Amino acid sequence: MPSTTFDHLPIAKRDRVTAALLTEFSAHSLADAQVARIVASADIARGAFYKYFDNLTDAYQYLYHVALHEIHRDAGGDERTTFDADRIYQGVVDFVDQINDSQYYAFIRRHYAENESLLPSAPVSPRLPAIAWAAMVLSHAAIKEILLDPDSEATVRERLRTTLALLQPKEDRPCF
């Protein structure tokens, strides 16, 4: 994650660096990204880049967190503690719609297509109930499939809706 030096930059400069990262990582995979292009686009010194981030992977992970925060914020959601298949399905639909209409579309699509395997996976809490874990895995797989093959969206949505409905507990029994 970025250094405290980056966190204390004037907002305009921080936004310029973030925009340069988005441009670079939307156009190039993490393996092909270049600090030289980022610093030229952001109009900062190469040394400044390394004051802000440890390396390109660190900068990428910062941008990924920024993108997901923005998209999740726009897609909404809530903190309910009961399983609701329709709510989870609608959350995926809203998320995909937000990605499709956002400045982060190319970046997130490239993430799934090329960069996801280059990064460490985030640990999942062992306290997460099995049904919530299953819904999370299904939702992320559906999002990935839709982004990588937009023509499959209707089929993927229907498959997700059907599978989530199968997970729905009977007679309002708590599952979390």
How far is 128 from 134, CA to CA, in rounded Å? Answer: 10
Cβ–Cβ < 8 Å for 147, 99? yes
> What is residue 122's three-state secondary structure?
coil
- pLDDT score for 48: 97
Cβ–Cβ < 8 Å for 105, 58? no
- pLDDT score for 71: 80
**Listed residue (134, 146, 53) closest to 105, CA to CA:** 146
- pLDDT score for 115: 95
122-138 confidence digits (pLDDT tens): 888 888 889 989 999 99
Mean pLDDT of the chain: 90
Residue 173: pLDDT above 90?
no
